[in-house]
Structure 1
């Protein structure tokens, strides 16, 4: 089974004033990157992940975001950066490749891959240009396809929450063997990428990498959820439409057929009722045609009478409308007359006041008590209005209003006369209608006998049947249009039944039981070594894997994360990831696809104490170094701790000023 092994990471940063870089070697087994905070340990991890094209696993959400610190792509030592890149050398135990990728350069979404070591990278011209981001990452020119083939992973498609399919990406697999420094230690698979909308992604990627037979079943369960959602959507839409049609029909549904209580033939299906109405319509039509054909002259006369009745009926409606309009017009004129009469009254009163002022010789205003004789000739004697505005006098107003009143009275008299004329025409038309109706009735009784006397009623009845028939046919067509949805619904429901039966038949395979037991046992052993729960072995042995919650550790009677300290939480997560690697190495079936690598970034910064870290190293030492690789970043102020870790330190930055990137001469 191919593995993923990191051999070497090379950085180059170029400015106008010189070049900077770093060269970090790796070996199988435990690799410790050692140094104090802020010197660049995490930048090494960032380079590994970036070189694998999985920077989304670092918490990068936008394609244009750079995961590196500014000294890799903006400026270093005060000098602007012209270009920067890395070369990552990887192996799968059989073949070795070197991957070139720009950090700042021509195209950061393309990598150059050569089947060689870094030392020979520039000596070999043959290479592949592979797409890292965007469309085509799983094509023949895609970096994702290259990585999956390189590690020996199958490319699989999984259902999404929006009922589509999405491939499982490398950045989805990454959170099971890489723990990022900041959020990564908060929970298992904390940096899982959800942007592809894959259903139950944490659960399914665990089953995929750990080679569980349940992975196939999980895909079936996901399909079941999809079917249930699809069925619900179709059913809700179909039922809503059916209910609307049943309300219109005042019917009920039996076996997908509307049943109508017709009142004529009792309860019957819409199809039978339509057939009944068609037959009745046909019979009544033939009966009417038979009666009508008895007397051609009578039919012609009848037709003329009906035409006259229709014409007179139209004239009657027109006359009624005109009379209504005249009534409205007269009411408007009469309202206006009332306002004229009110204005006449006001002007007569004003005239009396003026006459009173002259006759009685009033010298002061009864309101403001000003002397009237002292006012300018330009002002009104009483109201002081400016005479230059030429306001009409009461006499002038009265003359105008009386003239207007007479005019409107004449108009009203004329319109009332018009109304009487239209009323006469209306009454005359009514008389003609009554005459024609009487004549039509007389002709019916005289010339057609008893059968034709009820012809009109039969015509009205058959018209009613025809309208009802057309209505039912339209509704029946709308009901039939739902048949494809009903058919699809039945098909999906049958598929759901089959899937449920398949799920019910599932028994956890021996392979799954063994794999999960190995993981659980390894977790127990690791936690005992790390001293969790004050080494309460009974409590540790009670820890299980929750298959319904992404296969995370849990306790039946306690919340495993709340009964422990913050450092205990880190121990649980650390033990979990170690157990996956341990289980993969011990697998003899070849089903486990775990790439046998762990990348653990600074667990000590998350409250993991030195003793626990050293105990973890003891457990790592038990793992065959030729079958695995663990990359760990850490630091301790204690010389004793460093001495314990010394043989595993593959790269060290010895002080707070010993930064990763150093000036180089090439």
Structure 2
């Protein structure tokens, strides 16, 4: 069990003074009893509001509570005279995983503090002192479930939950939100009794969100299997794209060179190279025939060796010798420029990485300061510590170094300043990238010129080793041309070998992905999942029998393995039963989830709330059986009932049932002395 409500405190300032209520809560069955319209639902909804879960029932935070907390309050029970609400707040002490405690406070009405602000004090409500640590968070707005200062991020950690990313519409993923899980834990009177998960919001776009919520509560492996399957398929699509682009780019690089690639499939393979259909690059021989590149290179190398055979040349041409010296000098200059430019490129790339790091750091600073602005806008006064460091150099500035009259930037001013810094550094990066790109182009030209000078020096030296005459000049020209062609073709061979290595890696990854997909359970449900669903079925049917379910035989009920909901003959159970039996189904299903969590490892917090569970004139015998069932396992669960059942009848039902009863005398909100 990793969620327990320990204390609820309501405070309402009115023109007639301060009104309020305090309700301590215990483990096991906790019954809050009050007459109708006396504040019973206010108490239950206040827990919902304090935990930031009001989107289960409304999109307006304050609308989740009754008018006594947000508008007007009856201060005279006899005359029903009302007074305006000036300010109000809800505080709930809760206990989470590993016994950690905290008190959560939200303001319903306040001149300075907004309803989306949540203050967390790390102590039970009666133990809070001025020295108790406190943190402010926000809820009900973008980032509330994903960013560091989002309240539901804190609450998930407090409960020991890790909210999953799940398949959503349009091929994306989205987080499963707490408001989509709590309909399986919390049934609110006005909307919750319309069916299982009747309060389910669908704003996240998660597909089959009701099913995913059950999978999360029961920690079914099938949910992770589905997400894993989607991620594997997405990775497979990335591999296919990488394969296609690599093959297409290589083919494009051969355009206009008299070369073509054979045996390179455009679609992703799981085995490569293909021994039955090996890939190769071929060279056109000038007619309709083609020769494999490796054979052509071997033949050209043999021909070059023949042309390079040593020949006696006793005479030295002084003009050729001078040209060799001049060309060598030019080649040395080009190599020096090459080296200098490479060093500049290395420095430029280092500078670009530093700028990227600075932009990323500024972006993180911007998010933090924007959170501060949000919290301050909601009225938070405990965020000063978040802005204690300089937003530029991140140095902590002791107060002793700053004279009192020296103004410091507000959080809002820091946001504007950081945005300008980001714009500045992005402009710097753009300029640096353009300069580096130009240098890279120059470097390519220098490399090409250096290669050409190397070939020229070799050709001139060849001229010195050959006798004067047309044959020597022709041989020299042939050698230069042949060396140039071999240099280019050897580059193609190198790129083709690199492509083969890359495709082999992509194929191996593809095979591993397909194997991983195949290894996932074919019917998705693991053996452990099936055990949990069988346990849910047993608990569900036992409860229906105890609650006098009468629409048809209990033996005809199953828990569907496709959506985990109760069914009869493959049809939705609640679509074909009476209203009172539909309420019994909700009782049995939600308590069944709780009991599965007590038998297996799940994400169920051991916490369930029923607001006015005796709906649709359910029989007393059924309600009594519900109370008895809810009281089981008192040390490991907390089941909260809010009811207006007559006190005498309720006491009779609770006889011999372990419970804690809190009776509201008159109105829940009463004048405080």
TM-score, L = length of structure 2: 0.55
Contact kept, 8 Å, 1:159 with 1:222, in 2: the verdict is yes
CA RMSD of aligned residues (A): 4.1
Which residue of structure 1 lines up, in the alignment, with residue 118 of structure 2? 111
Matches within 5 A, 1:639-654: 639-645=648-654, 648=659, 650-654=661-665
Residue 500 of structure 1: CA displacement?
5.4
1:194-221 deviations in whole A, cap 9, x for unaligned? 1011122211221122122222112235
1:529 and 2:527 aligned: no
1 CA distance for matches of 2:650 and 2:23? 22
CA 566–504 in structure 1, closer or farther in 2 if over 3 Å, else same: same
Contact 2:20 2:669 (8 Å CA) reproduced = yes
- Structure 2: segments with no counterpart, 5+ residues: 75-81, 240-263, 267-284, 289-502
Confirm or deny: 8 A CA contact 1:88 1:98 kept in the other structure.
Answer: yes
Tell me if structure 1 keeps the 8 A contact 2:27–2:635: yes
1:155 corresponds in structure 2 to 163
What is the CA-CA distance between 1:144 and the residue it aligns to?
Answer: 1.2
CA distance in 2, matches of 1:554, 1:185: 18
Alpha-carbon distance in structure 2 between the residues aligned to 1:130 and 1:8: 21
Match of 2:638 in 1: 629
The answer for the alignment partner of 2:574 in structure 1 is: 561
Instruction: Say whether the 8 Å CA contact 2:145–2:177 is kept in structure 1.
Output: no
Q: For the Cα contact (< 8 Å) 1:227–1:492, is it kept in 2?
A: no
Answering whether residue 596 of structure 2 is matched by residue 596 of structure 1, we say: no
Kindly state the Cα deviation for residue 505 of structure 1 after the two structures are TM-superposed. Answer: 4.6
Cα distance, 1:645 vs. partner?
3.0
Q: Deviations over 1:161-185 (max 9, x none)?
A: 1333322222122111111213212
Aligned to 1:41: 40
* Residues 71-90 of structure 1: pairs in structure 2 closer than 5 A: 71-77=68-74, 78-90=82-94
C-alpha distance in structure 2 between counterparts of 1:201 and 1:225, whole Å:
21
Distance apart, 1:69 and its partner CA: 1.6
Q: CA deviation at 1:80?
A: 2.5
- Residue 557 of structure 1 and its aligned partner are, at CA, apart by 6.4
SS at match of 1:605: coil
Q: How does 1:238-637 map to 2 (within 5 A)?
A: 501-503=518-520, 505=522, 508-533=525-550, 539-549=553-563, 551-556=564-569, 560-587=573-600, 591-621=601-631, 623-637=632-646
Q: 2:669: which partner in 1?
A: 661
C-alpha distance in structure 2 between counterparts of 1:84 and 1:183, whole Å: 24
In 1, Cα distance between equivalents of 2:592 and 2:515:
37
The DSSP-based 3-state class of the residue aligned with 2:626 is helix
- In structure 1, what is the equivalent of residue 173 of structure 2? 165
Alignment of 1:128-143 (within 5 A): 128-133=135-140, 134-143=142-151
CA deviations on 1:84-130 (whole Å, 9 max, x unpaired) are 10110001261221112111121221211112121122443421112
Q: Distance in 2 between matches of 1:169 and 1:205?
A: 9
Shift of 1:228: 12
1:87 match: secondary structure: strand
Q: 1:509 to 1:113 in 2, by over 3 A?
A: same
Give the gaps of 5 or more residues in structure 1.
232-254, 258-274, 279-486
CA-to-partner distance for each residue in 1:367-397, whole Å, 9 max, x for gaps? xxxxxxxxxxxxxxxxxxxxxxxxxxxxxxx
How far apart are the structure 2 equivalents of 1:197 and 1:73?
A: 31
Within 1, Cα distance between the matches of 2:145 and 2:580? 39
Match of residue 228, structure 2, among 220, 229, 240: 220
Q: Structure 1 residues 155, 564: closer, same or farther in 2, change over 3 A?
A: closer
CA distance in 2, matches of 1:144, 1:189: 20
Q: Secondary structure at the match of 1:606?
A: coil
Report the counterpart of residue 326 of structure 2 in structure 1: none
Q: Aligned to 1:66, what secondary structure does the other structure show?
A: helix
1:224 Cα deviation (Å)? 8.0
What is the CA–CA distance in structure 1 between the aligned matches of 2:643 and 2:108, rounded to whole Å? 25
Matched, 1:101 2:99: no
Q: Is the partner of 1:21 in helix, strand or coil?
A: strand
Distance 2:169 2:614 in 1: 37
Structure 1 residue 32 displacement after superposition: 0.9
Is the 8 Å Cα contact of residues 580 and 615 (structure 2) preserved in structure 1? no
Q: What SS does the corresponding residue of 1:61 show, helix, strand or coil?
A: coil
The alpha carbon displacement at 1:615 in A equals: 1.1
Taking structure 1 as the reference length, what is the TM-score of the superposition?
Answer: 0.56
Residue 22 of structure 1 deviates from its aligned partner by 0.7
Report the secondary structure of 2:170's partner residue: coil
Change (3 A) 1:559 1:89: closer
CA drift of 1:592 comes to: 0.9
CA contact (8 A) 1:35 1:652 kept: yes
In 2, Cα distance between equivalents of 1:640 and 1:85:
34
Give SS of 1:532's match: coil
SS of the residue aligned with 1:561? helix
2:95 paired with 1:91:
yes
Name which of 63, 68, 82 aligns with 1:66.
63
1:521 deviates by 0.6
**Cα deviation code 1:335-379 (max 9, x no counterpart):** xxxxxxxxxxxxxxxxxxxxxxxxxxxxxxxxxxxxxxxxxxxxx
- Distance, in Å, in 1 between the alignment partners of 2:574 and 2:653 is 30
Residue 89 of structure 2: SS of its match in structure 1?
A: strand
The CA distance in 2 between the partners of 1:112 and 1:508, in whole Å, is: 41
Distance in structure 2 (CA, Å) of the matches to 1:570 and 1:171: 21
Distance 1:185 1:650 in 2: 23
